[in-house]
A and B are shown apart, each in its own frame.
Chain A
Amino acid sequence: MTLRHISVFADLTLEDRPHVGGKGGSLGELTRAGIDVPPGFVVRTESFEHFIQALETEAPFRARVKGLDANDLDAITAVSRELRARVEAADLPADLQAQILAAHAALGGTGPAPIVAVRSSATTEDASDASFAGLQDTYLWVKDPQDMLRKIRSCWASLYSVESLTYRLRHGFPEAEVAMAVVVQVMVDARTAGVMFTRSPTTGDRSVITIEGAWGLGSAVVGGEVTPDRWVVAKITGEIPVRDISDKAIRHAPAPDGGIVDVEVEADQRKQACLSDDELQALRAIGRKVERHYGRPQDIEWAVDRHSQRILLLQSRPETVWSNREAAPAATRAEDPLQHVMSIFGGRK
């Protein structure tokens, strides 16, 4: 049996998370649910394993971590430097490289291979993902296929950062089980992008959707480099009780040679709302659909394509802050339904 190294989104569901990570599984799930998601594929954990095995044949790799003292920062730093360098420098095994390049080319259909985003996709649902996976790396506007391969290795290398190693050593996490999937997704040249919570981040209210957005790529919003416009949209009715339009000084734009640059926003655009009411309503519909699909509130990244003006989802994950909180019920069933009116007539309790 040959191992699967690559999976396109349309072939994935949440069930595949152990091999494609949370991000990869979610993008597959969204694609299959008929949500507009930029096409892409996941470099599965099997690929990572294949790559590490190739490294092991040159010189012991995972064994280098074994026996390290979690408190010996100097030793960890030295090993981290060594292992990261090896991951970053090594070529991918030829069969794997061919598969990834073919998958990339296939994304372009009959045209050239598209510009992509390369993002790490952690395989644990643990809140400590960030420390486990090192950095949740995201490389945007990757133009060149060889550069894409390098970025995939950079994602993998982050598993061997000092923080990551320390975390694993502290928690006795078996090194043999360490793996990471990487998502490669067609890049959206976003006119506007941002995030959407299908509940209120401030009150936890599930009847509203909070949308934040700014001009250009969503990284400016996610990274906190711009104060986004903010709307509160009633989930059921579509009313928009809150509209905070901010002064958006910069936007993230593709750099000519790949990557992202800050661009000053044109004066007449700065205080303009970056989404129309129709787009807000379209986002609301998408948010409801995704939330229904998962059966729980979601934290979603979205972008509006500059050319097609289509709204695409880049990621959706379960909202955790309020969902993990134990809320007192607003009221419970009363033996005599009339007793409810005492909340109004009975005075302050």
Chain B
Amino acid sequence: MTATGDQRGFPLPSSVKVVPGTERAQAAYPYHVQFTPDDDKKFWFYNSMHFPEPMCAFDMVTAEAAYCALGAANTRVQCLPTTLGVDHRIINGRVYIGGNGVTDPAEIERRTVEFQKRAFYYYANWETLYAQWKQKMLKLIEEAQALPKPSLPEFEPLEHVHAGRGIASNHDLLVTYQKTLEGYFRMWHHHFEFLLLGYGAYLTFFGFCKKAFPEITDQTIARMVAGIEAEIFRPDDELRRLARHAVDLNVDQHFQEGVKAEEVLESLRKAGEPGHRWLEELQKARDPWFNINVGDGFYHYHRGWNDDLSMPFAALPEYMRRVRAGESLDRQLERLQAERAELIADYRELLATDEERAAYDQMIGLAHRVFPYVEGHKFYCEHWYTNLFFNKIREFGALLAGAGFFAKEDDVFHLTHYELQAAIIDLMNAWSTGAPPRGPNYWPPIVAERKAAIAEWSKHRTPEALGPIPDVIDDPAIVMLWGITRETLDNWLSAGDGKDSNEVRGFAASAGVVEGTARIVKSVEEIGRLQSGDILVCPVTNPTWAPIFQKIKAAVSDIGGSMSHAAIVAREYGLPAVVGTGNATAKIKDGQRIRVDGGRGVVTLL
């Protein structure tokens, strides 16, 4: 990427100041992610897609682990010819990233030879390697589930002593913590094993379609490629199944809007045989399909359904009403498959020559082979494994809170993962010396300071990008994973011009135009505020939210691309959706009338 003489520009990293009063919270992030003057030479952009809110000190582990793995796959494993890994820096709780391109033609040539030996092998053996991948992931999940809950007995258990174990329980804390952390880093390597290759095959087809059909919409191409039986539809499918069961067992009267999940469960426990049978069905669905979280897995407070049943339970009354009304809630797989096949055939017919049709067949064929991974990996990585990871850290939080290190278990997330190890060792030491731990005197003010810093940072807008403007963005990783192109930069640069201030723009995710009342829903707790026919405006769209799509007439989100799962669900429900707007939840007021044009990616404030 080379700089241009564009008069407009982004601020230099060195000009972005740490918000006054938060300097110590900023200093908690490791030295290698702090901006230095050298960084002014490079183009950076704010990764608002994955990290839309200021990151707690611990949650930043995701950036570290993910970029370690992403870069390894690009730079060393698959040897992408034109791009290496992604650098990241953190300021005011925001993650900025910048790609490292390869521009020397000889080096690209050398890497191309390597790439074709590696990536082409993956493409050629995709199904086998992906089957192997699932086994690896399930094993990793099993290992995480097998980790003990961290605890310290007053005296070492007698059986340990008699067995001559020779290792005391305080050491187990360190082992569990390090295994937890190691597993998370390993998970991210699995995550990126196929991802770039999968997106690359998809984008190859995408690029062809854009060339052959210059005016085709992104979401049409997405519909041609998207899978129909992907794992990501399963949680919602399970809810539909549970709704049907409740009606069949005649226990559906226990599910009323606004009644807490815990109360529903309690009344079912008292509802005799049918109640018990439904609870058994619930148990089956929960493992593994409720291991899905309400975000994208990047924040500790995006809890899983299994940890917070309010999200899935909020959807059940409406599903039950539809079952009683005689509606079939089954996703009609055959119909969806036939529709996709027809779409592909119809576009194929429009191509001018048999040569083009042959190329089209080759590209869509590859895209269909690789896409199950692109869609399926999130369930295992960002949802299932990440829930286990954060919950294990939460257990350490409970242990430390119990020892007086801080007030609540979730306060643990205000420590970096390096600091957390120190705190654990402090506790291990205290247990061994018999003296009190030092933490209770050390951490509370720091936790308070960092909480205040997060609150402060979220009040400040952060620049979308920093540094010199590149004339083109030709880093396939940046284009694929973040959807950022030169046009994106132009939009950012002109955003300050104040034009069309009654418009919010994003990715056109699902076509259709509707007007209605905006309901800003920032978290699961607020789901109950949605009325039938509202337009959902939320920070992240996520498949977890699928069940509420039955209630709404359009969806708008701050983050997400046209291939995000929410976009797929919106298309399946036939609802207009605009995703990745950046600031819809800030710009749109709750209760405001808005028009959503999902075909153009425009939301108009009326």
- Residues in chain A within 8 A of chain B (CB atoms): 200, 203-208, 232, 234-237, 239-242, 327, 329-334, 336-338, 340-348
In whole angstroms, how far apart are the Cα atoms of A241 and B352 in the complex? 23
* Partner-binding segment picked from B200-208, B231-239, B407-415, B547-555: B200-208
**Is A207 in contact with B216, judged by CB distance below 8 angstroms?**
yes
Determine the chain A residues whose CB is within 8 A of the CB of B353 once the complex forms: 329
Determine the chain B residues whose CB is within 8 A of the CB of A203 once the complex forms: 214-215
With both beta carbons as reference points, the residue of chain A lying nearest to B112 in the complex is identified as A346
With both beta carbons as reference points, the residue of chain A lying nearest to B344 in the complex is identified as A236
* Partner-binding segment picked from B253-261, B329-337, B356-364: B356-364
Determine the chain B residues whose CB is within 8 A of the CB of A234 once the complex forms: 215-217, 220
Given contacts A337-B366, A340-B362, A347-B474, contact A232 B215 (CB under 8 A): yes
**Is A330 in contact with B359, judged by CB distance below 8 angstroms?**
yes
**Given A232, A239, A345, A347, which contacts B511 in the complex, CB threshold below 8 Å?**
A239
What is the CB-to-nearest-CB distance from B345 to chain A, in angstroms, rounded to a whole number?
10
**Is B200 in contact with A329, judged by CB distance below 8 angstroms?**
no
In whole angstroms, how far apart are the Cα atoms of A341 and B351 in the complex? 20
Among B219, B350, B353, B366, chain A packs the most CB atoms within 10 A around the CB of B350
**Is B119 in contact with A345, judged by CB distance below 8 angstroms?**
yes
B115 at the interface (CB under 8 A from A): yes
- Residues in chain B within 8 A of chain A (CB atoms): 80-82, 102, 108, 112, 115, 119-120, 123-124, 197, 200-201, 203-204, 207-208, 211-217, 219-220, 223, 343, 346-347, 350-353, 355-356, 358-360, 362-363, 365-366, 472, 474, 476, 480, 508, 511, 513, 599-600
What is the CB-to-nearest-CB distance from A294 to chain B, in angstroms, rounded to a whole number?
14
**Is B215 in contact with A241, judged by CB distance below 8 angstroms?**
yes
Determine the chain B residues whose CB is within 8 A of the CB of A340 once the complex forms: 204, 208, 359, 362-363, 366
Determine the chain B residues whose CB is within 8 A of the CB of A332 once the complex forms: 355-356, 358-359
In whole angstroms, how far apart are the Cα atoms of A200 and B217 in the complex? 14
**Is A343 in contact with B204, judged by CB distance below 8 angstroms?**
yes
**Given A235, A342, A345, which contacts B350 in the complex, CB threshold below 8 Å?**
A235
Top 8 A-B pairs ranked by shortest CB distance? A333-B358, A330-B212, A337-B362, A331-B359, A347-B82, A239-B511, A207-B213, A330-B211
Determine the chain B residues whose CB is within 8 A of the CB of A239 once the complex forms: 217, 219-220, 511, 599
Q: Given contact pairs A236-B350, A330-B351, A344-B200, enumerate 15 new A-B contacts (beta carbons under 8 Å).
A: A205-B213, A207-B347, A234-B215, A239-B599, A330-B356, A332-B358, A337-B365, A337-B366, A338-B123, A340-B366, A341-B123, A341-B204, A343-B204, A343-B208, A345-B115
Given contacts A338-B120, A341-B200, contact A237 B366 (CB under 8 A): no
In whole angstroms, how far apart are the Cα atoms of A236 and B219 in the complex? 13
**Is B359 in contact with A338, judged by CB distance below 8 angstroms?**
no
**Is B366 in contact with A338, judged by CB distance below 8 angstroms?**
yes
Determine the chain A residues whose CB is within 8 A of the CB of B124 once the complex forms: 338
Determine the chain B residues whose CB is within 8 A of the CB of A208 once the complex forms: 213, 215-216
**Given B208, B366, B600, which contacts A330 in the complex, CB threshold below 8 Å?**
B208
**Given A237, A341, A345, A346, which contacts B343 in the complex, CB threshold below 8 Å?**
A237
**Is B352 in contact with A327, judged by CB distance below 8 angstroms?**
yes
What is the CB-to-nearest-CB distance from B105 to chain A, in angstroms, rounded to a whole number?
9
Determine the chain A residues whose CB is within 8 A of the CB of B511 once the complex forms: 237, 239-241
**Given A206, A240, A330, A334, which contacts B362 in the complex, CB threshold below 8 Å?**
A334
**Given B217, B363, B476, B599, which contacts A331 in the complex, CB threshold below 8 Å?**
B363
What is the CB-to-nearest-CB distance from A334 to chain B, in angstroms, rounded to a whole number?
6
**Is B220 in contact with A345, judged by CB distance below 8 angstroms?**
no
**Given A200, A207, A329, A345, which contacts B476 in the complex, CB threshold below 8 Å?**
A345
In whole angstroms, how far apart are the Cα atoms of A155 and B108 in the complex? 68
In whole angstroms, how far apart are the Cα atoms of A234 and B221 in the complex? 12
In whole angstroms, how far apart are the Cα atoms of A239 and B355 in the complex? 28
**Is A241 in contact with B600, judged by CB distance below 8 angstroms?**
yes
What is the CB-to-nearest-CB distance from B349 to chain A, in angstroms, rounded to a whole number?
9
Determine the chain A residues whose CB is within 8 A of the CB of B476 once the complex forms: 344-345
Determine the chain A residues whose CB is within 8 A of the CB of B200 once the complex forms: 341, 344-345
Determine the chain A residues whose CB is within 8 A of the CB of B220 once the complex forms: 234, 236-237, 239
With both beta carbons as reference points, the residue of chain A lying nearest to B475 in the complex is identified as A347
**Given A200, A333, A348, which contacts B215 in the complex, CB threshold below 8 Å?**
A200
**Is A333 in contact with B359, judged by CB distance below 8 angstroms?**
yes
**Given A242, A333, A342, which contacts B355 in the complex, CB threshold below 8 Å?**
A333
In whole angstroms, how far apart are the Cα atoms of A329 and B223 in the complex? 23
In whole angstroms, how far apart are the Cα atoms of A204 and B203 in the complex? 22
**Is A329 in contact with B82, judged by CB distance below 8 angstroms?**
no
**Is B215 in contact with A329, judged by CB distance below 8 angstroms?**
no
Among B208, B211, B216, B347, chain A packs the most CB atoms within 10 A around the CB of B216
Could you list some 20 contacts between A and B, CB below 8 A? A205-B213, A208-B213, A234-B216, A235-B350, A236-B346, A237-B343, A241-B217, A329-B356, A330-B208, A330-B212, A331-B363, A340-B359, A342-B112, A343-B204, A344-B204, A345-B81, A345-B119, A345-B200, A348-B472, A348-B474
**Is B366 in contact with A341, judged by CB distance below 8 angstroms?**
yes
**Is B362 in contact with A207, judged by CB distance below 8 angstroms?**
no
With both beta carbons as reference points, the residue of chain B lying nearest to A242 in the complex is identified as B600
What is the CB-to-nearest-CB distance from A227 to chain B, in angstroms, rounded to a whole number?
20
Determine the chain A residues whose CB is within 8 A of the CB of B358 once the complex forms: 332-333
With both beta carbons as reference points, the residue of chain A lying nearest to B474 in the complex is identified as A348
Given contacts A338-B123, A343-B207, contact A207 B215 (CB under 8 A): yes
With both beta carbons as reference points, the residue of chain A lying nearest to B115 in the complex is identified as A345
**Is A346 in contact with B212, judged by CB distance below 8 angstroms?**
no
Among A200, A237, A242, A336, chain B packs the most CB atoms within 10 A around the CB of A237
**Is A329 in contact with B350, judged by CB distance below 8 angstroms?**
no
Given contacts A239-B511, A340-B204, A340-B359, contact A331 B211 (CB under 8 A): yes
What is the CB-to-nearest-CB distance from A343 to chain B, in angstroms, rounded to a whole number?
6
With both beta carbons as reference points, the residue of chain A lying nearest to B206 in the complex is identified as A344
In whole angstroms, how far apart are the Cα atoms of A330 and B511 in the complex? 26
**Given B120, B203, B350, B472, which contacts A344 in the complex, CB threshold below 8 Å?**
B203
With both beta carbons as reference points, the residue of chain A lying nearest to B124 in the complex is identified as A338
Among A235, A237, A330, A345, chain B packs the most CB atoms within 10 A around the CB of A345
What is the CB-to-nearest-CB distance from A233 to chain B, in angstroms, rounded to a whole number?
10
With both beta carbons as reference points, the residue of chain B lying nearest to A208 in the complex is identified as B215
Determine the chain B residues whose CB is within 8 A of the CB of A336 once the complex forms: 120
Determine the chain B residues whose CB is within 8 A of the CB of A232 once the complex forms: 215
Given contacts A205-B215, A208-B215, A236-B343, contact A341 B201 (CB under 8 A): yes
In whole angstroms, how far apart are the Cα atoms of A203 and B355 in the complex? 21
In whole angstroms, how far apart are the Cα atoms of A340 and B123 in the complex? 12
In whole angstroms, how far apart are the Cα atoms of A241 and B201 in the complex? 26
With both beta carbons as reference points, the residue of chain A lying nearest to B220 in the complex is identified as A237
Given contacts A240-B599, A337-B362, A345-B115, contact A331 B81 (CB under 8 A): no
**Is B216 in contact with A334, judged by CB distance below 8 angstroms?**
no
What is the CB-to-nearest-CB distance from A12 to chain B, in angstroms, rounded to a whole number?
28
Determine the chain B residues whose CB is within 8 A of the CB of A236 once the complex forms: 220, 343, 346-347, 350
With both beta carbons as reference points, the residue of chain B lying nearest to A334 in the complex is identified as B362
In whole angstroms, how far apart are the Cα atoms of A327 and B355 in the complex? 13
In whole angstroms, how far apart are the Cα atoms of A346 and B513 in the complex? 39
Among A204, A235, A331, A346, chain B packs the most CB atoms within 10 A around the CB of A331
In whole angstroms, how far apart are the Cα atoms of A234 and B218 in the complex? 12
In whole angstroms, how far apart are the Cα atoms of A241 and B218 in the complex? 11
